[in-house]
Structure 1
Amino acid sequence: MGKNNASILIVDDDQDILFTADMFLKRHFAQIHTLEDPNNIEKILSTSSIDLVLLDMNFALGLNTGAEGLHWLQRILSIVPDMVVVLMTAYGDVGLSVEAIKQGATDFVLKPWKNEKLLATLNSALLLSDSRKQVSTLTISQQALQKEKAVPDVIGQSSALQHILKQVEKVAKTEANILILGENGVGKDVIAQQIYHQSHRADSIMLSVDLGAIPESLFESELFGHVKGAFTDAHSDRAGRFQAASGGTLFLDEIGNLPIHLQAKLLRVLEQKCVSPVGSDKIIPVDVRLICATNSKLKKLVDDGKFRADLYYRINTIELSVPPLRERAEDISLLVEYFAQRYCKKYQLNQKRVSASAIAKLEAYDWPGNIRELAHTVERAVIMSDDSFEHQSNHGFLSAQDFILPQTNNIEYTDRQANPFNDCNLERIEGLAVKYALEKHEGNISQSAKELGITRTSLYRRIKKFGL
């Protein structure tokens, strides 16, 4: 029978007891620490990973009240609240045993012990220790699960979006590692959640980690966990993200920001499917479905020696590219209406629709910040718009003027109908003709282009030219 992978601390002032216990228990457990002076308990708990403490009840010569054992029991629990402590004494006082358990001891053994009884007691206590750690990990998992519970909305009907959604449907049911590429703000996290919710692991957890936001010094602790005392601020054991997400999905966002000297550690975990918390020699098996995302040109980073080729191929069994918003302009009107409703509700304002001219203006913009920039633009428009319009025709609508974009308009743009031929300036006539067609067809690009006698592409160029 193999050894239990546990670390046990034995505290007793009798060297013979320490020697005997050490000789017996080291045949059954991975690590045995012995301590003669209980005043050193705090030091060893701060520097070593201990799963169970076997603590004597009496230390002062001639005293057998058990008061010292109870004192050190409380001291241990004040340092590590979840520590499993088994007390031992040569005096079988039932009342003392009950009091010790009331104060937090897990169990109680009598000296001299029978080896089989001692081993059974410690193994039972360690099962409790494992259960407590699992509860801690489950708490982290459940908190994350609540955040990921709602399926995110995917808004749009463009062919570019439908193509990526068909790819998601194909890969979601597999266990393949996925790499999602795309510019900032295109919704890579939404695509990751779509994969998760359509996967066989949807009933388990999905944890998200922004690698670009983790300091290098905390990378291993965040992903792989740590034990108490592993570093200055490690006041207690903590499960890492891999362990907390085991059985579910782990989403590593901005994987391209991971320094190359840390990439080897991530690769090793992915290959071996196990983690070792910082400050511990324990090996903890993990089972995660990995999804990564980046806005970096990862293949170029590999070619430049800034990203490990072996890690690159490990994380992108399947590669998905999310299109930028400028390549799915036909989705903008749906997204704008969606965000307008969301933010009106958020700020407890009357629901507003978006005018056709405003939609045309937004469709003509390049959106370098993609959907995130669009959402912020709509939110600002909702907040700054006036609910009491002078013109009844504008009531309940967001007009083109409500949307502030980082570009200079070449013509004055309003939501009022205008005669496009009130002067002979050709550029102005062209701009107003485009505006008039868009107004007439309520922002429909195809119908407006047809009436103007130009292609959709030509119309988009003119919309951009005149800032419509």
Structure 2
Amino acid sequence: MQILCIDDDADIVQAAGLIARRKGMQLTGAENPQVAWSLLAEQRFDLILLDLNFARGNTSGEEGFRMLTDLTAADPHAVVIVITGHSGINIAVEAMRAGASDFVIKPWSNDTLASKLERAATLARARYRSSFSPEEAATPLLLGEDSAIKRIRTLITRIAPTAAPVLITGPAGAGKSLTAQLVHRRSALNENPLIRLPAHADLDEASISSALEQARGGTVLLDNVVELPRALHPWLAARLEGMRIIATARGERGMVRAALDADLLYRLNTIEIEVPSLKERCADKALLARHFVERFSRRHGVPVRTLSDEALGAILADDWPDEVRGLQQAIERAVLLAGGEEIVVADLGIDSSHAPDAPLRAGAADLNLDRTERRLIEAALDRHRFNISRAAEELGLTRAALYRRMAKHGL
């Protein structure tokens, strides 16, 4: 049983680790959400211990609640025990309502924490068995620290349990289908199958009617709905009754709206989710790459290799025109072809023409990850005229985390 403890107090992490080991469990510590997401990208954890207050002297639980929301949105099966002080009991109760499985008050007794870990382990095993498949249960969905991805996870948490139609737009390969599946998995209709209807120019009324009949009482996924012949739009709009509708469409929101008949658009876009391109999620590239290395190493039964600094620099520099799907394919190829303990640039098969910053790969000095991080922070600060809150949101960091990184880089 693998436990992730997210707490900035090293003594708390050490104490929890000792109790976990006595119960035959392994505990890994993370001092902040950014480290936690990196670890979650590399392996699956059965339980999560989450401190509700990371910043010294902060007792509001704001950071912890934000992390709790992100964790449960990323993995609906997550088992989370929140940690709080005596003065935070009311906050812990609110956290239970927000998706936490249990809470523990510090200072705790060893027996109390041991008992809560055992109960949580039983719950985690039950949830794992009831999930769709071992691989799906092990995969953190919509992984990322980008502010747009965080907003999508929060939106899914709010709207998935409703019956509202959802229109998901974005580039090909960015994760629209994955987003649709997550909305369905968290809905009240998730026991019924998600009926996928791929739209294309040759689709006829009979084929559509058959799919809609199968989806009656459940959910239909209109995949790439803009490819449906325009003449069928009013006909389809009149028949979307008695089911939940999730639609995906390739392209920017404005383009998609213009391509759809007004009646059909009205039936589809009660809620709109726009999935960003990977180019807009630069800070997530390393996180996703490490996750895919772990995932494909496990799938193909090969040793888990590390990404060399040069390979990681190339991944950060590339535009990834095929989006997350392209990164996933490149990492799977690299996992299979790598000959040493590290994945190197040649293993990735990246087309150098896709990288606008070719000099970044020219020498080791320019591939330094600290320099890359500094450039990202400087660019965000410049764009937002040193508004720390806005720059932190763009970078997917808390204000405190951004201040720490600015101090690290002398900014």
Looking at structure 2, the residues matched to 182 and 301 of structure 1 have their Cα atoms a distance apart, in angstroms, of 9
Q: CA deviation at 1:223?
A: 2.3
8 A contact 1:179–1:318 mirrored in 2:
yes
Q: Which residue of 1 aligns with 2:285?
A: 332
SS, match of residue 167 in structure 1: helix
- Paired residues of 2:175 and 2:324 also in contact (CA < 8 A): yes
Shift of 1:370: 0.7
The 5 A counterparts of 1:319-358 are: 319-358=272-311
Aligned partner (choices 368, 378, 399) of residue 321 of structure 2: 368
Alpha-carbon distance, 1:342 to partner: 2.2
- Counterpart code for 2:250: N
One-letter amino acid matched to 1:326: K
- One-letter code aligned to 1:253: D
- Equivalent of 2:146 in 158, 173, 181: 158
For residue 223 of structure 1, what is the aligned residue in structure 2?
208
Q: 1:247 to 1:149 in 2, by over 3 A?
A: farther
Aligned match of 1:397: 342
SS state at 2:351 partner: coil
Displacement of 1:203: 2.3
Distance of 2:166 and 2:218 partners within structure 1: 14
Residue 151 (structure 2) pairs with residue 196 (structure 1) = no
State the alpha-carbon separation in 1 of the partners of residues 252 and 314 from structure 2: 31
State the Cα distance separating 1:185 from its structure 2 match.
0.5
Q: Is the 8 A contact 1:445 1:456 kept in 2?
A: no
In structure 2, what is the Cα distance between the partners aligned to 1:266 and 1:156?
Answer: 35
Equivalence map 1:110-259=2 (5 Å): 150=136, 153-212=141-200, 215-216=202-203, 219-224=204-209, 240-259=210-229
> What is the deviation of 1:433?
3.3
Deviation track 1:346-395 (CA, whole Å, cap 9, x = no partner) reads 33322212123311220111112110111111122222221xx4xxxxxx
Counterpart Cα distance in 2 of 1:246 and 1:208: 13
Counterpart residue identity of residue 407, structure 1: S
1:366 to 1:412, Cα distance in 2 relative to 1, 3 A? closer
Q: CA RMSD in A?
A: 3.1
Q: How many angstroms does 1:412 deviate by?
A: 9.9
Note if contact 1:205-1:247 (Cα within 8 Å) is conserved in structure 2.
no
1:264, 1:412 → 2: CA distance?
51
For each residue in 1:63-91, what CA deviation from the matched residue of structure 2 results, as whole angstroms up to 9, or x when unmatched? xxxxxxxxxxxxxxxxxxxxxxxxxxxxx
- Structure number with higher relative contact order (C-alpha < 8 Å, ≥ 6 residues apart): 2
**Percent identical residues:** 27
Moved over 3 A (4+): 145-152, 296-303, 408-413
CA shift, 1:264, in A, is 2.2
* Aligned match of 1:315: 268
The answer to whether the 8 Å contact 1:256/1:296 transfers is no
Residues 251, 148 of structure 1: alpha-carbon distance in 2 compared, 3 angstrom cutoff: farther
Task: Map residues 449-468 of structure 1 onto 2, 5 A cutoff.
Answer: 449=375, 455=378
Distance 2:337 2:282 in 1: 25
**1:319 to partner: Cα distance:** 0.9
On the 8 A contact 2:142/2:149 being kept in 1, the answer is no
Alignment counterpart, residue 445 of structure 1, candidates 366, 369, 372: 372
Which residue number corresponds to residue 407 of structure 1?
Answer: 352
Q: Is the 8 A contact 1:325 1:367 kept in 2?
A: yes
Once residues 315 and 232 of structure 2 are traced to their aligned partners in structure 1, the CA distance between those partners, rounded to angstroms, is 42
User: Once the 2 structures are TM-superposed, how far is the Cα of residue 397 of structure 1 from its aligned partner?
Assistant: 1.5
Unaligned stretches of 5+ residues in structure 1: 1-144, 225-239, 274-286, 390-395, 414-427, 459-468
Tell me, yes or no, if the aligned pair for 2:293 and 2:305 is still in contact at 8 Å.
yes
Structure 1 residue matching 2:289: 3-state secondary structure:
helix
Cα distance in 1, alignment partners of residues 169 and 154 from structure 2:
16
How do 1:25-174 and structure 2 match up within 5 A?
Answer: 150=136, 153-174=141-162
Counterpart check, 1:261 vs 2:221: no
Map Cα deviations across residues 182-230 of structure 1 (whole Å, 9 max, x no partner): 0101100111111111211122221222113x733xx323221xxxxxx
SS at match of 1:332: helix
More helix per residue: 2
Partners of 1:289 and 1:149 in 2: CA distance: 26
The answer for the alignment partner of 2:335 in structure 1 is 382
Deviation at 1:301, TM superposition (A): 6.1
**Which consecutive residues of structure 2, in runs of 5 or more, have no partner in the other structure?**
1-130, 382-411
Q: Could you tell me how far 1:343 is from its partner in structure 2?
A: 2.1
Once the 2 structures are TM-superposed, how far is the Cα of residue 257 of structure 1 from its aligned partner? 0.4
**Cα pair distance change 1:401/1:455, threshold 3 Å:** farther
Change (3 A) 1:215 1:186: same
The structure with the larger Rg is 1
Letter in 2 for 1:266: L
The alignment's TM-score, normalised by the length of structure 1, stands at 0.48
TM-score by length of 2: 0.54
Q: What's the CA shift for 1:434?
A: 2.2
How many residues matched?
A: 247
> Matched residue of 2:295: which SS?
helix
Residue identity opposite 2:207 in structure 1: E
